[in-house]
Amino acid sequence: MNTDPGAPLDPDGTAVVVGASLAGLRAAEGLRRGGFRGRLVLIGAEPHPPYDRPPLSKQVLAGTWEMERTGLRDEAGLRELGIEAALGRRAVSLDAVARRLELDDGTVLAADGVVVATGATPRHPFAEEGVLVLRTLEDCASLREALLAAAPGGRLAVIGAGFIGSEVAATASGLGLSVSVVETLPVPLSPALGETIGAALGGLHGRNGVHLRTGVAVETVKAANGPVLELTDGSVVPADVVVAGIGVVPEVGWLEGSGLTLENGVVCEGTLFAADGVVAAGDLARFPYRGEPVRIEHWQMAADMGAAAASALLAGRAGAAPFEPVPYFWSDQYQEKIQMLGRPAPDDEVVVVDGDLESRFVALYRRRGELSAAVALSRPRQLMAYRSLLERKAGFDEAMALAKGAT
C-alpha cells in the first residue's frame, strides 16, 4: 500500500467500490477505463447486478418494460471488466485510515482505494400499516402487484408530491386508478424549485384528473378494512393502496466510527475525497457546489460523480481535479417531461422566457446577477441552449439575451 497520502492509486493495487449503484458502477468502469489493472471488487447489498432506478416509477411500474430491461451491466459484463461482484453482501464497517472493510459475512478487505457509493434509503412512515415505498426492484414489483389488484377503479393515495410521488401518481392514473396526493407543503416542490415553478408543476396533477391536497399532513394511517389516511385538518382519504414518496436519507450508518465526516451524508472535498484514498459518489456524497455543501440526488449526477470519483482516485488526492458539474435532472409525468439544469434556490428570481406556466414553458433563475438554473416543461431543445452558460457561470443578462434571440 502506498503510504503517500496524496499519491495516485497504485494501478496494480486493490480497489473496492461499496455500492452496486449507478454511481458505483460508473466508478468501477472509470477505474478500468483509466488504466487500473489491479483487483477491483464491487460490493452490492442487493442481489442484483447494477440496474437503472428511474424506470421503476414509470415504464416498469406501468408494465411497458420488463424489469430485466433496467439492467446496466449483467454479471457476465462485470466479469469482462475483471470486476469481482459481491452481490447480496453489505459492508458493515470501514476503517478509513487503514482502508479496511468488513462485510456482513465476515469477509475483510484491505484496499489501496475505496469508493463509497451506498446511496440512500427511502423514508418509510407507517410501514406497519402497509404503506409502500419505491426504491428497489422488489419495491416496484410489490407496488405494481398492489396497483393491478386495485385497478381499474381502485384508489391510490400518495404521501408526498415530490418527483417520485408525482411519477407514481401519474403512472397509477394511467393504469386506471383514482389517485389522491397529500403534500405537507403549501406549494409542492417549493424548497427545490421555488413557489412559482412548484405551483406550475403541481398543476399537472389537476389537469390530469389527480386530486392534490396541499398544506396538510398525514397524521395516521388506519389499515383495518382498507387503508384510510387521517389528515391533520381532520379530513380522511380512503384508499386501496398507499405509497410514500417523502424523500430519502443517506445510507451512512455503516460508516459510523469510520473516521469519515458524516453530516447529512459523507462530507467530501471538491475533488470528492473524503479521506486519503477514499472518495464518495452518488446520493450520499456531500460536496461543495459553487461554495455550498450539497447532496444532489439526480441520475445524471450519480453517473457523472461515479466517473469523477474514479478519476480522482487515479490522480491521487494531491493531483485530483475539482468536480464542477452542471446538475441535470428530468422527470416524466403524464405526457410531459420536466427538465432542470443547474441548482435553483427557493428565493431566486424566476423569469419565464418561453411559453407560459399554464402549459409548456422555459423559466430562468437569477441569483446575484448570475444564471443559477433553468427549468422547462416539455421544451427540451430550448432548455439545453442554457447549459453552456451555466458551465461558465454566465451573467443573467446574457441568458436573457439568448432567450430573446431564440424567440
Residuewise pLDDT in 10s, the chain (407 residues): 555 778 999 999 999 999 999 999 999 999 999 999 999 999 999 999 999 999 999 999 999 999 999 999 999 999 999 999 999 999 999 999 999 999 999 999 999 999 999 999 999 999 999 999 999 999 999 999 999 999 888 999 999 999 999 999 999 999 999 999 999 999 999 999 999 999 999 999 999 999 999 999 999 999 877 899 999 999 999 999 999 999 999 999 999 999 999 999 999 999 999 999 999 999 999 999 988 999 999 999 999 999 999 999 999 999 999 999 999 999 999 999 999 999 999 999 999 999 999 999 999 999 999 999 999 999 999 999 999 999 999 999 999 999 998 65
Cis amide leading into 152 (omega within 30)? yes
- Return the C-alpha cell found at 324: 464542477
Asked if 162 and 245 touch (Cβ cutoff 8 Å), the reply is yes
pLDDT for position 2 = 54
pLDDT for position 47 = 97
Neighbours of 182 (CB within 10 A): 25
| φ, ψ at 294 (rounded to 5°) | -140, 155
In 248-400, which ranges are E strands? 248-250, 266-267, 273-275, 278-280, 285-289, 292-294, 328-333, 336-342, 349-355, 361-367, 370-377
DSSP classification of residue 128: G
Q: Is 384 helix (H, G, I), strand (E, B) or coil?
A: helix
pLDDT for position 38 = 98
CA distance 394 to 255: 39
pLDDT for position 256 = 98
- Return the C-alpha cell found at 133: 415505498
Strand partners, 377: 338, 361
Asked if 42 and 78 touch (Cβ cutoff 8 Å), the reply is yes
Three-state secondary structure along 134-166?
A: CCCHHHHHHHHHHHHHHCCCCEEEEECCCHHHH
CA distance 396 to 320: 31
Tell me the torsion sign for CA atoms 129, 132, 135, 139.
positive
Neighbours of 219 (CB within 10 A): 12
Cβ density class 103-114: b for 16+ within 10 Å, e for less? beeeeebebbbb
Name, in order, each residue with C-beta under 8 angstroms of 222's C-beta and a sequence gap of 6 or more: 129, 228, 230
pLDDT for position 4 = 74
- Domains of the chain plus CATH, in order, are 14-121+248-315 (3.50.50.60), 124-244 (3.50.50.60), 335-406 (3.30.390.30)
CA distance 207 to 196: 17
Name, in order, each residue with C-beta under 8 angstroms of 200's C-beta and a sequence gap of 6 or more: 357, 358, 361, 377
pLDDT for position 406 = 65
